[in-house]
Amino acid sequence: MFETKDTSAAVDSEDFDEAFEEACELVRDIRMGIEFDEDGCEQDDEIEEVLEEIEELSTGEVNLGSGEQLAESWALLYTSSSIARYHRGMSSLHKNFPGGRCEHITLTINEQDGFGELVETINTLGGLKPKVRVNFSWDIKGTNRVVLQLDRLKLGPTSFYADSWKPLRAFTTFDVTFINSQALVCRGATGQLYFWKRAEKVE
């Protein structure tokens, strides 16, 4: 398991603000990194360096407790996941639309009922923006590991069992290495990075 940090002292700090602003600037025009080569690129190194600065702002372990701080909507700004890059998004269903591509991925965690939703917004040539929705239950293992138990994947009236949908393997288990009111940084099983920014809830 990767080293984790207690972020309570880092909230609203000048160091965090500076690193967060730099990270957001680096990922502004790269569409979450999902169109990068699966093996990575030089830009990955620069982004990872800044995200590691955010991870290292405080010492100790992230302790998510009951998940109250996690219970928000988070917009994905960047991932180095080779699975997400191979499929160019969360579900690969954008391939079903002319000129389709993944535009946004949002993770919403609900603390009270223990459920949540992943939403992938697809951009198409015709201007339509269909949404792929994956509902799940979630749990915290140890102090900082978040496990999503995927249920159904829905696109319009079509529905599938999500746990057998291979592209979604990139979005099932996260080790939270930094969290505050603005940012969420996670690591996957092989160290791949996920950088999320607090977002409005997706309708």
Q: Which of 101, 91, 192 is nearest to 133 (CA)?
A: 91
Q: What is the pLDDT of residue 126?
A: 86
- Rounded distance between C-alpha atoms, residue 185 and residue 144, angstroms: 11
Question: In this model, does residue 4 exceed pLDDT 70?
Answer: no
Q: Which stretch of 5-19, 84-98, 152-166 has the lowest confidence by average pLDDT? A: 5-19
Token readout for 99 is: 């000129």
What is the rounded average pLDDT of the residues 98-122?
95
Cα torsion 98, 104, 105, 109: sign? negative
Q: Are 161 and 133 in contact (CB under 8 A)?
A: no
What average pLDDT does this structure show over 17-28? 94
CATH topology of domain 14-199: Lipocalin (2.40.128)
Percentage above 90 pLDDT, the chain:
77
> Is the distance from CB of 30 to CB of 44 less than 8 angstroms?
no
Please state, in angstroms and rounded to a whole number, the distance separating the CA atoms of residues 87 and 170.
10
pLDDT at residue number 8:
45
Residue 25 has pLDDT above 90, yes or no: yes
Most confident of 124-128, 134-138, 163-167: 134-138
Whole-model pTM: value is 0.90
Rounded to 10 degrees, the C-alpha dihedral 165/171/172/174 comes to 170
pLDDT at site 201:
53
Residue 3 pLDDT: 47
Looking at residue 127, its pLDDT comes to 87
Q: At what angle do helices 42-55 and 14-26 cross, to 10 degrees?
A: 160
Instruction: Kindly report the average pLDDT of the chain as a whole number.
Output: 89
Q: CA-CA distance, 203 to 184, in Å (whole number)?
A: 21
What is the reported pLDDT for 173?
A: 97
Q: How many CB atoms lie within 10 A of CB 191?
A: 10
The mean pLDDT of 80-93, rounded to a whole number, is: 95
Say if CB 111 and CB 123 are below 8 A apart: no
Q: Find the mean pLDDT for residues 82-90.
A: 95
pLDDT score, position 58: 59
Q: Say whether pLDDT at 43 is over 60.
A: yes
Evaluate if residue 136 carries a pLDDT over 80. yes
